[in-house]
Amino acid sequence: MKTVLCITLNPAIDLTITLDVLTLGAVNRASENQLGAAGKGLNAAHVLSELGINAIASGFLGDDNDEIFERLFKSHKTFIGDAGIGQLTDGFTKVTGATRTNVKIVDKQGCTTDINGQGFLIDNDAKQALFKRLIQYAKEADAVLVAGSLPKGFTTRDFDELLDLLTQNNTKIAVDVSGDALKAALKHNLWFIKPNNDELSGAFDRQITTLDEQLSAIQEISGDIEHVLVSMGGKGVHWFKKSGQKRQIYHAIPPKMTVKSTVGAGDTMVAGMIFGLLQNFDDKTLLCHTTALSAHAVTVIGVQVPKRNELLNLIAKVQIFDKGIA
């Protein structure tokens, strides 16, 4: 069974509140609420484990409120005996303070409003302790994912150093970040990245929406990045796969879904991509499987893999277009 190291530098406790309509300045009553351990890398680790990959979830974790994370790892152990379920291992480095709480307000139209809290402050001792642990994990893993935002005290320079360490110890490094962290990542030789249009626009300081604009930006990347996946919400995803000095381009369009929440859909897409690449799926199978997993993710609160029959049904509805080599 393959092993993937999933790094979440700034995890969160997600409080997801579902209501009919959010009215500002008024009392709003929730129809449903859910509290869970989260963060982009942790979400991806959860999905990977359900797909049959052994996932190590690492990063920083505040010791003031780590109980909900400990419950997640403990509860997952009860499923290990189930066929096809991988391990979900706690590889976090504890730091002084509390892990942030993020509030997700979801209305009946599927529109999500995020309120992200402030978390712990990282000092140099915590950085070095984590780096030492990650080097060992990276050497033993089949692939590594770094995803999510940077915590206070962890600079873009620190992130750059982290990517240097990881790429020296593993050839399959996937990155899902935004802002200055994405700008830093684009200078490294990576396995794949998954920005959306807004994140890609921010990294290149210009508006990027069309396929041609995406390709132009990708051709400017200084690092050697094998796979670039650009997500576009309901419009699907463009996959730019390295082919010599050019890119093989695919466009996948998901089936129409009833949206409950978009939280975790991108993380699920990243997990699906990692899974498919490690399984050596052919291009069409990989992209159909990844897109179907992400499509299902918008129909649930949190992250989870659909039952086999449901997944096969979604895969059959994904449309794949070969855009050629450019």
For residue 83, the model assigns a pLDDT of 60
- DSSP lists the bridge partners of residue 218 as none
Q: Which amino acid is at 297?
A: A
- Complete domains list, the chain, with CATH: 3-325 (3.40.1190.20)
- DSSP lists the bridge partners of residue 238 as 230, 251
Give tens-digit pLDDT for 33-86: 999 999 999 999 999 999 999 999 999 999 999 999 999 999 887 665 556 789
For a pLDDT cut of 90, what percent of the chain falls above it? 89
pLDDT top residue among 306 and 110: 306
Q: Determine how β-strand 3-8 pairs with β-strand 12-18.
A: unpaired
Give tens-digit pLDDT for 83-138: 678 999 999 999 999 999 999 999 988 788 999 999 999 999 999 999 999 999 99
**Could you tell me how many helices (H) and strands (E) the chain has, helices first?**
10, 14
For residue 53, the model assigns a pLDDT of 96
Enter the pTM of the model: 0.95
Q: Are 285 and 65 within 8 A, CB to CB?
A: no
What is the DSSP secondary structure assignment for residue 233, as one 8-state letter? G
Contacts 24+ apart (CB under 8 A), 283-286: 283/239, 283/241, 283/248, 283/250, 284/250, 284/320
- Nearest CA among 297, 4, 304 for reference residue 145: 4
Q: Per the residue annotation, which of 267, 282, 283, 322 is the catalytic one?
A: 267
Active-site residue flag, 267:
yes
Give tens-digit pLDDT for 178-236: 999 999 999 999 999 999 999 999 999 999 999 999 999 999 999 999 999 999 988 99
pLDDT (mean) for 131-154: 98
